[in-house]
Amino acid sequence: MKRYEKSAFLRSFILFLGAFILMFLVLGTLYYQQEKRRLTKELEITNHMHYIECMQLQMGDCNQTANTAPDLDPLYNNLLYVLGLVLLLFIPVSLLLSAYTMRPVRKATDMIDNFITNIVHDINTPVATIMLNTKSILKKNTDPSKKLQRILSSTEQLQNMQHDLLALSEEKEQIDMEPIELKSLIEEICENYQLQYPTQPFMLSLQRQNITANRTDMKRILQNLISNAIKYNRNHYPIKLYNDANRCLHICDQGRGIAHPQKIFNKHYREYYQIQGSGLGMASVHAMLQRNHIEVVIQSEQNVGTHIILKFTN
């Protein structure tokens, strides 16, 4: 079951169980009030009968007891006992109803995921062909045209979108983990971006750090975060990357900042539509971070910049 399916299943379970408990509480309250009135009335009648009997027998001091409250503790304890039984019964019933409710949702999501996977695999060959031929032409030309550079850049963007769509559709929980030296991987990614954005400076202050993660996921996570830092950064301001003694990686830009950091992992959420993007990159980053057990903290202030912290546990 995928992350969003688990979330939907949990919400359905809480909804069903909450509805059952609410129904029991309403009926229990009505029953409690009714029994309270009945017991109070019976006690009043009993007290009155005792008073009449005492007066008839002329037993002396016959004071009529007024407003005596009945003992409701047994009734209260019985209701708590029944509530426990109701919970034992309704928890499995709620689980079954939630599972039944999720069946059409799971079928629909499986169909969509299969469609996405097939489409991505089908376009993989032409995208790879365009990229290889474009790179080959660029190597042969000593003075490459801007049109070829744009074709290569757009092709790389399509390839990145393929990875993002696959990460979102598959959401694998069991992935191949391997040791990764973080410093060399970041330096390789930054070198590639330096070729694409020659005017963008990078400030790297990295110590060697070994982590355990899926290499493809880790590369896509860093590519997405660094490319976003480049896109939203102000011109000629350096992007800083450094790690610390707590096994945390810091990525800092000095750009526009994010108005709603808590929303950036939502699918299709974009704050600046004038900047090219699909709105899927950060959603796929979130999925890959979760399955690699990497915590993320985002600190951002508008017109100051964004600071992203990755906390590695492995």
CATH number at residue 250: 3.30.565.10
Q: What is the CATH number of the domain that holds 139?
A: 1.10.287
Q: Three-state secondary structure along 15-81?
A: HHHHHHHHHHHHHHHHHHHHHHHHHHHHHHHHHHHHHHHHHHHCCCCCCCCCCCCCCCHHHHHHHHH
Same-domain check for residues 92 and 209: no
Higher pLDDT, 198 or 305: 305
Give residue 240's pLDDT: 92
pLDDT in tens, 144-171: 677 777 777 777 777 777 766 666 666 5
**For residues 129 and 120, what is the distance between their CA atoms, to the nearest angstrom?**
14
**For residues 193 and 219, what is the distance between their CA atoms, to the nearest angstrom?**
13
Give the pLDDT mean for 34-50: 77
Q: What are phi and psi of 223, to 5 degrees?
A: -60, -45
Structurally, the chain folds into a number of domains equal to 3
Q: pLDDT at residue 251 above 90?
A: yes
Nearest to 308 by CA among 292, 293, 296, 290: 296
Give residue 252's pLDDT: 92
Query: What pLDDT band is residue 173 in, cutting at 50, 70 and 90?
Result: low
pTM, entire model: 0.56
Ranges 11-20, 47-56, 120-129, 257-266: which has the least confidence = 47-56
Same-domain check for residues 197 and 77: no
**Domain residue limits at 218:** 178-312
Last residue within a domain, chosen from 150, 170, 190:
170
Last residue within a domain, chosen from 102, 133, 149:
102
Cβ neighbours of residue 309 closer than 8 Å, sequence gap 6 or more: 248, 249, 250, 296, 297, 298, 299
Give residue 281's pLDDT: 72
Give the pLDDT mean for 173-180: 78
User: Chain centroid to CA 270: how far?
Assistant: 17
Same-domain check for residues 62 and 32: yes
Query: What pLDDT band is residue 219 in, cutting at 50, 70 and 90?
Result: confident
Q: What are phi and psi of 244, to 5 degrees?
A: -130, 180
